[in-house]
């Protein structure tokens, strides 16, 4: 979501006549796009501006803070961090140029944590996408789930879905421009609920999301990925849709957060471990070979050693292709912030390392299934590893490295996998 936000910030700035530079010392304006899901990210902002202040000395550029930290901290950032000139929240991206101009004109600090304009343009210019071949397309913003540890419902606000007709129009447009893979993104894509049926008529499905998947698949764009899914809203009709359309990719990111029902309840996740396993079983029994990834938190308030061991067993059962493991960090303003953060930092680290080790072992075993298999890879960029190395993603969202000529950039090629590394696969053009 943050990459997508940054792409839209730079699109807006370019449209309004600003020029980008990669050299922050040559810039008149430096914008820091922030995330506050975990504490570390917030600290990064403080040290980032500090470093800039030191480097720039007397020639300090105008500094703007955007994203979640800006939304949550608001004007306190002006006091907390010396050198910040404007603070724009998660829904103020469309007003970034105005904020810069006003800063230059008035010299005053500008704060905007207001709502999005009704006619906000979500388009990202071709030149501002992180890849010419892959595009992120938000289909829903915000979140209504209020998991007790999570800041997102506060930083991104309530759920708002985009009209399917508009999503489809954008997919067709991207396809025409040479984009081969779209990622439909949102905090919880499965709870997609547009206000009208426009664009969905004629597409069946048990949820608006599965109908949207069918409608997007019918555009004929080559690859469609979607993230993030939420276990309670992830129903078998989504798997059925994937089975029906080859261009819906075989990868699902389904955060579980914990293997203990007690902890899941305290997190207010709204699902049990048994229900999650049922969904995994359905994915595993699919006719498509679907890769599964997840997020897990260790050291949530009140997590005992027994709860943690439930997480270890859960990881062993699920056999994730990849798991992002986080140490719980209290976020002010969330319900869990009121609970005693009673797992010590040292214990959190121990649990993190133990779970990471188990996941590494399981992951290595799971990934062996790709050995000697031929995967379809979208060639996205040159890899710095070898002199004519190329890199891209498979339909199952693995990073795949191989050697080949530069002319293959943007093409989808067959790569036979001959080596499995911790977080990527290596192979040869087939």
> Any contact of residue 205 with ligand 5AD (CB under 6 A)?
no
Q: Does 276 bind ligand SF4 (CB under 6 A)?
A: no
Which residue, 16, 103, 69, is CA-closest to 332? 69
Binding ligand SF4 (rule: CB under 6 A), the pick from 46, 120, 146, 324 is 146
**In angstroms, how far apart are the furthest CA atoms of the chain?**
63
The reply on whether position 426 binds ligand SF4 by CB under 6 A is no
> Does the footprint of ligand 5AD cover residue 182 (CB under 6 A)?
no
**Three-state DSSP state, 97:** helix
Q: Which is nearer to ligand SF4, 151 or 379 (CB)?
A: 151
Pairwise CA distance, residues 196 & 276, whole Å: 31
| Position among 145, 262, 369, 411 found at the interface with ligand SF4 (CB under 6 A) | 145
The beta-carbon contacts of 402-411 under 8 Å, at least 24 apart in sequence, are 402/377, 402/426, 402/427, 402/428, 402/429, 403/428, 403/429, 404/379, 404/429, 406/382, 408/379, 409/133, 409/379, 409/380, 409/381, 409/382, 410/132, 410/133, 410/178, 410/180, 410/378, 410/379, 411/378, 411/379
Distance of CA 95 to the CA centre of its chain: 23
Residue 329 in the binding site for ligand 5AD (CB under 6 A): yes
> Which is nearer to ligand 5AD, 83 or 335 (by Cβ)?
335
C-beta closer to ligand 5AD: residue 31 or 297: 297
Among 192, 203, 308, 326, binds ligand 5AD (CB under 6 A): 326
Instruction: Tell me if 293 sits within 8 A of 323, measured CB to CB.
Output: yes
Question: Which region among 89-97, 301-309, 326-334, 371-379 touches ligand 5AD (by CB under 6 A)?
Answer: 326-334
Q: Which residue in 38, 130, 369, 411 binds ligand 5AD (CB under 6 A)?
A: 38
Find the binder of ligand SF4 among 11, 71, 188, 293 (CB under 6 A): 188
Q: Identify what 326 binds: ligand 5AD, ligand SF4, none; CB under 5 to 8 Å per kind.
A: ligand 5AD
Query: What are the residues whose beta carbons fall under 8 Å from the beta carbon of 199, sequence distance 6 or more?
Result: 163, 164, 165, 166, 167, 168, 215
Least separation in angstroms between residue 253's CB and ligand SF4 is 11
Nearer to ligand 5AD (CB atom), residue 258 or residue 401: 258
User: What residues form DSSP beta bridges with 136?
Assistant: 183
Of 277, 303, 302, nearest to 292 (Cα)?
277
Q: What's the gap between Cα 192 and its chain centre? A: 16
**Interface segment toward ligand SF4; rule CB under 6 A; list 83-91, 138-146, 243-251, 352-360:** 138-146
Instruction: Assess 230 for contact with ligand SF4 (CB under 6 A).
Output: yes
Rule CB under 6 A: which residues touch ligand SF4? 143, 145-147, 150, 152-153, 187-188, 230
Rule CB under 6 A: which residues touch ligand 5AD? 37-38, 149-150, 255, 257, 295, 297, 326, 328-329, 331
């Amino acid at each position: 979501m943050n990459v997508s936000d940054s792409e839209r910030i730079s699109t807006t700035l370019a449209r309004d006549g600003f020029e980008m530079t990669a050299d922050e010392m040559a810039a008149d304006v430096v914008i820091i796009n922030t995330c506050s899901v975990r504490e570390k990210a917030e600290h990064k902002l403080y040290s980032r501006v500090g470093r800039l202040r030191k480097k720039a000395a007397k020639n300090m550029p105008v500094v703007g803070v955007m994203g979640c930290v800006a939304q949550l901290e608001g004007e306190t950032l002006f006091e907390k961090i010396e050198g910040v000139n404007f603070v724009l929240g998660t829904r103020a991206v469309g007003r970034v140029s105005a904020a810069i101009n006003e800063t230059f004109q008035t010299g005053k600090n500008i704060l905007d944590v207001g709502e999005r304009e009704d006619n906000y343009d979500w388009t990202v210019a071709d030149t501002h996408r992180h890849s010419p071949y892959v595009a992120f397309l938000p289909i829903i913003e915000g979140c209504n789930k209020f998991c007790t540890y999570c800041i997102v419902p506060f930083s991104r606000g309530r759920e708002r879905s985009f009209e399917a007709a508009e999503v489809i129009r954008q997919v067709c447009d991207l396809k025409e421009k040479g984009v081969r893979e779209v990622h439909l993104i949102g905090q919880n894509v499965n709870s997609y609920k547009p206000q009208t049926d426009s664009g969905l008529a004629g597409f069946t499905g048990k949820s608006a999301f599965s109908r949207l998947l069918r409608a997007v698949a019918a555009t004929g764009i080559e690859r469609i990925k979607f993230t993030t899914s939420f276990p309670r809203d992830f129903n078998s009709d989504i798997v059925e849709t994937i089975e029906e359309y080859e261009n819906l990719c075989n990868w699902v990111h389904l955060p579980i957060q914990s293997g203990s029902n007690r902890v899941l309840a305290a997190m207010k996740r709204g699902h049990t471990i048994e229900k999650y396993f049922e969904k995994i079983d359905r994915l595993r029994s699919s006719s498509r070979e679907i890769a599964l990834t997840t997020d897990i938190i260790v050291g949530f308030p009140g997590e005992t050693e027994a709860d943690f061991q439930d997480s270890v067993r859960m990881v062993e059962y699920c056999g994730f292709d990849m798991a992002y493991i986080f140490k719980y960090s209290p976020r002010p303003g969330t319900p869990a912030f009121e609970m005693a953060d009673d797992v010590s930092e040292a214990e959190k680290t121990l649990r993190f390392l133990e779970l990471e080790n188990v996941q590494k072992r399981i992951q290595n075993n799971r990934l062996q299934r790709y050995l000697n298999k031929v995967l379809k890879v979208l060639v996205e960029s040159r890899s710095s590893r070898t002199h004519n190395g190329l890199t891209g993603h498979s339909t199952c969202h693995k990073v795949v490295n191989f050697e080949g000529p530069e002319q293959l950039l943007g093409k989808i090629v067959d790569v036979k996998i001959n080596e499995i590394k911790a977080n990527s696969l290596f192979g040869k053009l087939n």
